[in-house]
Amino acid sequence: MLNSGKFAEFTIDSSESELDHEPIPIENMIHVFEESFDDNLKTYNNVLLIKNVAPNVSYADLTTLLSGCPIVKNVVLSNPNPFRGFVREAYVELNDTNGVENLIQTIQSQKPNEKAGPITVIFYSSPSCPRRILLPPLMNTPENLSEDLEFAIQTVKKMDKKIDENLDFTEEIKDYMVSFFSNSSGDFNDDLYMTKKTLDFLVEYLRHVHFFHFYTVNEYDSIYELEKQFPGQFVRLSNQQSDSQLSFKQELWRAKFVEKMKIFLEPDKADLVKLGAKPFDEAKTRGSSKLGSLVSSKVEDGTSIKYVS
């Protein structure tokens, strides 16, 4: 990933990206703390979404069905959904869109599962210019960058351990950054620049390897599902804007982000009461009192019971 040189110039910092030279139209920008992402933001990149895949359909069954179609590049099968009869969704990445109609017909011609319902196929094509998502200027302060870097390191370690106890990409990043700086002649603040660069690498690693979206603290089944929500590049704003409403929003978003990240990294230390839970004794007492009010009931027709609260 690093040795290929693909990310040598990678950055999400607005002061170093093409943003200094190319103004972005307002319709192609959105703040990360905005709750209502536009539908144009939620798009795949030439992917078929297959809904209602029956539990007995294996990955091998699916790839066998699609093996005769040359435009199929990759196939991903999501985890079963226990709330919908354990049906799954499949994501079929395409390397070309010619012949996609025939592919859809091939999939939809399969016998539907009675419980799951008919197979639904949706084709998503990415917009020519995906909307960029702006991180608030508050994320660009040295203190917050350092805190986020520590969050990213802990997250990578936690996610890597799910794959292999001995896997730790953070060590590879450290070696790479030492090599990167020793071969660089740029004029910048070493400590701050290194913090940003390392953070950006780790965030991209989490995105591409673990399908984990760092800034919303969400894990997805596949890169396609993640890119459905966030296909555009993230941009870290460098200048504080003199807008009191924006300042309040970003401070509130930052506080929520830190809280979510701490809960994710150390769930045992989470304040469950603050999250809406109740102490065991209190919940038990309240449940008993509720049950007591329900005991006052009458039997109707000898079979059904009507509870009076």
Q: Say yes or no: 240 and 105 in one domain.
A: no
306 and 262, same structural domain?
A: no
Looking at residue 138, what is its pLDDT?
84
The verdict on 36 and 50 lying in the same domain is no
Q: At what angle do helices 59-66 and 100-108 cross, to 10 degrees?
A: 130
Chain mean pLDDT for the chain: 73
Q: Indicate the residue among 124, 143, 166 that finishes a domain.
A: 124
Q: How confident is the model at residue 289 (pLDDT cuts 50, 70, 90)?
A: low
Q: How many domains does the chain have?
A: 3
Most confidently modeled range among 79-93, 111-125, 180-194 = 79-93
300: helix, strand or coil: strand
User: 86-111: buried (b, 16+ CB within 10 Å) or exposed (e) per residue?
Assistant: ebbbbbbbbeeeeebeebbeebeeee
Indicate whether 305 and 209 sit together in one domain.
Answer: no
Q: Tell me the range of 151-165, 191-205, 232-246, 275-289 where mean pLDDT is highest.
A: 151-165
pLDDT at 156: 95
Distances (CA, A) of 31 to 24, 37, 237: 13, 9, 10
Supply the range of the domain harboring residue 82.
46-124
Q: How confident is the model at residue 104 (pLDDT cuts 50, 70, 90)?
A: confident
139 & 263 share domain:
yes
Gap between the Cα atoms of 13 and 38, Å rounded:
23
pLDDT the model gives residue 208? 87
Band (161; pLDDT cuts 50, 70, 90): very high
DSSP conformation letters of 78-105: PPPBGGGTTBEEEEEEES--TTHHHHHH
Residues 58 and 194 in one domain: no
What is the pTM for the complete model shown? 0.59
- Classify residue 91: in a domain, yes or no: yes
| Percent helix, percent strand, percent coil in the chain, to nearest 5 | 45, 15, 40
* Boundary (domain end) residue, out of 94, 124, 154: 124
Q: What is the pLDDT of residue 282?
A: 73
Of 124, 141, 168, the domain-final residue: 124
Domain shared by 289 and 183, yes or no: no
Residue of 275 and 31 predicted with greater confidence: 275
* Span 4-18, average pLDDT: 51
Who has greater pLDDT, 307 or 57? 57
Helix (H, G, I), strand (E, B) or coil at 241: coil
What pLDDT sits at residue 124? 64
Q: Decide which of 71 and 22 is more confident.
A: 71
**What is the pLDDT at residue 214?**
92
pLDDT at 309: 43
Q: Provide mean pLDDT across the span 247-273.
A: 85
Predicted confidence (pLDDT) per residue in 193-224, tens digit: 888 888 988 998 998 889 999 988 999 888 87
Q: Tell me the β-bridge partners of 135.
A: 236
Any domain includes 3: no
Q: What is the pLDDT, as a whole number, of residue 291?
A: 61
Residue 84 counted as domain residue: yes
- Percent of the chain, pLDDT > 70? 62
Residue 242 lies in a domain: yes
Look at residue 43 and tell me whether its pLDDT is greater than 60. Answer: no
User: Do 141 and 261 reside in the same domain of the chain?
Assistant: yes
Return d(Cα 151, Cα 156) in angstroms, integer.
9
How confident is the model at residue 129, as a pLDDT? 56
Q: Which residues contact 99 (CB under 8 A, 6 or more apart)?
A: 69, 70, 71
pLDDT on residue 160: 93
76 has which bridge partners? Answer: 91
Domain shared by 263 and 138, yes or no: yes
Q: Does the pLDDT value for residue 127 go beyond 60?
A: no
What's the pLDDT band for 277 if we cut at 50, 70, 90? Answer: low
Q: In terms of pLDDT, which residue wins out, 240 or 236?
A: 236
CA atoms within 13 A on the CB side of 6: 6
Identify the H or E element spanning 198.
helix 190-209
pLDDT at residue 12 tops 70: no
13 within domain boundaries: no
In a domain, 115, yes or no: yes
Q: Any idea what the CATH number is for the domain that residue 56 is in?
A: 3.30.70.330
Higher pLDDT, 275 or 144: 144
